[in-house]
A and B are shown apart, each in its own frame.
Chain A
Amino acid sequence: KAGVTQTPRYLIKTRGQQVTLSCSPISGHRSVSWYQQTPGQGLQFLFEYFSETQRNKGNFPGRFSGRQFSNSRSEMNVSTLELGDSALYLCASSLALQGYEQFFGPGTRLTVL
């Protein structure tokens, strides 16, 4: 099976812009979670989607949003970018009901100038 894929892998934006990141889960996986990884804050949970519904949300401002499509692919959007949003954004997929294991994608490296 192909692993979790994320596009784009690298992105450079300027403050105030918005960005959309995409995640394709492992075939058959219906849950997608998003995490932000920074040197200062480590790995932090953003939100999780299952069957096109947001199930859980982390402690991030409303500028961070996401959605999931009927094929389980997910997107996250960050509006009004700030310098502090520079990070590696990781998504992880899971079978959800049949197991706990989460498998991560390679991440999207976002740089905000």
Chain B
Amino acid sequence: GENVEQHPSTLSVQEGDSAVIKCTYSDSASNYFPWYKQELGKRPQLIIDIRSNVGEKKDQRIAVTLNKTAKHFSLHITETQPEDSAVYFCAASPSGSARQLTFGSGTQLTVLP
């Protein structure tokens, strides 16, 4: 089955700096890669996603890049703000089972004011 590895497990940045979180996946059949943000005690919230026919997607301060050859994808957050502090999860799902997500282990992002 699919295996998703996520790095780093913790990340601290100064407010205004950029943050990058990286994930690798094992199943070359995976073609959907969402990122979720989970604040303490709250539900995971979808913040951005990318499909395998796209190499990069951007939404305001957040961007995701995908390298299918290397089987890795990354989340980029620019101009970080204290409210960006949360746990971020990457995930992957195979073609035909888009709702069966395999999650990475999560990254605790702390934005220092």
A residues near B (Cβ < 8 Å) are: 4, 31, 33, 35, 42-45, 48, 50, 55-56, 58-59, 90, 92, 94, 96, 100-107
Residue of B whose beta carbon sits closest to that of A97? B98
Measuring CB to CB, which residues of chain B are less than 8 angstroms from any residue of chain A? 1, 32, 34, 36, 42-46, 49, 51, 89, 91, 93, 97-106
Count of A-B residue pairs with CB < 8 Å: 62
Q: A42-B105, A45-B101, A45-B102 are in contact. Are A105 and B43 (CB under 8 A)?
A: yes
A92 to B103 CA separation, bound complex (whole angstroms): 14
CA–CA, A104 and B91, complex, Å: 14
When A43-B89, A100-B32 are in contact, do A48 and B100 touch as well, CB less than 8 Å? yes
Instruction: Find the A residue at minimum CB distance from B98.
Output: A100
By the criterion CB–CB under 8 Å, are A102 and B103 in contact? no
Residue picked from A31, A94, A103, A104, most chain B C-beta under 10 Å: A104
The one of B34, B36, B43, B102 that contacts A100, using a Cβ cutoff of 8 Å: B34
The distance from the CB of A98 to the nearest CB of chain B, in whole angstroms, is 11
Given the complex of chains A and B, what is the CA–CA distance between A35 and B100 in angstroms? 9
Residue of chain A at shortest CB distance from B106: A42
Q: Decide: B44 and A104 in contact? CB cutoff 8 A.
A: yes
Given A45-B100, A59-B1, A104-B36, output 10 extra A-B contacts at Cβ < 8 Å.
Answer: A33-B99, A33-B100, A35-B101, A45-B101, A48-B97, A58-B100, A100-B49, A103-B46, A104-B44, A104-B45
Distance, CA A88 to CA B14, complexed state (A)? 31
